[in-house]
Amino acid sequence: MLFNQTLTYISLFSGAGVGCYGLLEEGFECVATNEILEKRLNIQRINRKCKFDESYISGDIKKPETKEKILKQIGFYSKKFGNDRVDLVIATPPCQGMSVANHKKKNDEIKRNSLVIESVDLIKQIKPRFFILENVPSFYKTGCIDKNDNLLEIGSMIEQNLSGDYMLYDEVINFKNFGANSSRTRTLVIGVCKEFKDFISALEFFPDFKQEKTLKEVIGSLKPLAWGEYDSTDFYHSFRTYPKHMQEWIKDLKEGQSAFENTELNKKPHRIVGNKIVLNVSDYGVPQNRERAFIVGASRFSFDFNLLEPSQSVNIQDAISDLAYLCSNEGAFESDYLNPIQSSYQALMRKDSPKLYNHQATNHSQAALEKLKLINKEKGKECLPKNLHGKQQFKSTWGALKLEQNQPHHRHTL
């Protein structure tokens, strides 16, 4: 923070600087921005993202000289403007979403993921009050090679290097539920310096949950365009030019309709083969016969679990009663089962797996622990004063487990 109370930040892998727009809107000042491609930094310069040209740092973050330039700029801000400490570091390093199990096939991409390690290394040197990492949904389980040439999951690497100084929280979210105009599922990792553990939790950094926007809400106000026309007031708003024969496919469509719904054969998407119309689609949108198995997963759905037969359903008690109770920040990636099997479901889950994996408790802030003490058995945030409800997107965030239920839950805290 500067003498005048202005908050400061550093952006790594900053691209054209689009991600910094919100920070500038909130009054943050950019101490340094790093991007390997000079042309992207030039866009940032045009938009006057930083006050000083030295803050635009072009170069490979793996090279010591690039890191030295970033650290030098921090020193400059400290000496000239009294910046006691960088408030925030944000980093979006390139990452190929791939598990450790697949590393032999894609070792070059695993090495590319090691850019994440360079980000973590800089965070350790800069020691910001807060940091945010944003990446692909599979980020935490993706493989990387650490400084000692060991292969491990990125999540484990982050925790090994930063959990001593920071409270960490990671979650996969879809930005469409936080005000974005498009669907974009990403992992967010938020770190809060433990100096502030009694005052703030990483959970409190999440914005308010918002209902996703409809297509009409996003583009409904744009000017209607003719075939091939560009909007003279908006360079990015244009009507793509298609081959002329495709005009027949779409000219009679109503809102929400597909060209494949046309009743006339010549108005359905097709190609001509030997004077015959051959449709571009077969059954499910694929132009050739292709038998495949599909596994579909969803984070939210309207399935009624009560429709299951008793023999098919498993409640929370059946699922996890054999797990040992943990306090905040207890547990390990791999451990032994301490309790015997207590249900047929647990017997199935333990089959051929003598070890217990991923039984780890969140590292809660002291403020969060005080909130949890106020919640009664099988109750939720209704037990809390309204000023402690927070801005979490799920109503069950501060909810205690209801052991006899088999309903899906986004997150349980107790």
User: What is the C-alpha to C-alpha distance for residues 312 and 348, in angstroms, rounded to an integer?
Assistant: 13
* Strands 151-153 and 8-12, sheet pairing: unpaired
CB 96 within 8 A of CB 113: yes
Question: What burial class does residue 172 get, using C-beta atoms within 10 Å of its C-beta: 0-12 exposed, 13-18 middle, 19+ buried?
Answer: middle
Q: What are phi and psi of 183, to 5 degrees?
A: -80, 120
From 30, 50, 95, 144, active-site residue: 95
> Is 383 assigned a catalytic role?
no
Could you tell me which residues come within 8 angstroms of residue 65 by beta carbon, excluding any fewer than 6 positions away? Answer: 59
From 288, 293, 348, 299, select the one nearest 319 (Cα to Cα): 348
Looking at residue 162, its amino acid is L
User: What is the C-alpha to C-alpha distance for residues 130 and 259, in angstroms, rounded to an integer?
Assistant: 50
From 409, 317, 324, 405, select the one nearest 361 (Cα to Cα): 324
User: What is the C-alpha to C-alpha distance for residues 326 and 411, in angstroms, rounded to an integer?
Assistant: 16
* Strands 276-279 and 270-273, sheet pairing: antiparallel
Cβ atoms < 10 Å from Cβ of 280? 14
CB 393 within 8 A of CB 292: no
Half-sphere exposure of 4 (CA within 13 A, CB side): 7
Residues in the chain: 414
Give the single-character DSSP code of 26: T
CB 60 within 8 A of CB 30: no
Region label for 66, one of left (φ > 0), alpha (ψ between -120 and 50) or beta (otherwise): alpha
DSSP string, 39-56: HHHHHHHHTT-SSSGGGE
- Beta-bridge partner residues of 132: 90, 190
**Residue numbers annotated as active site:** 95
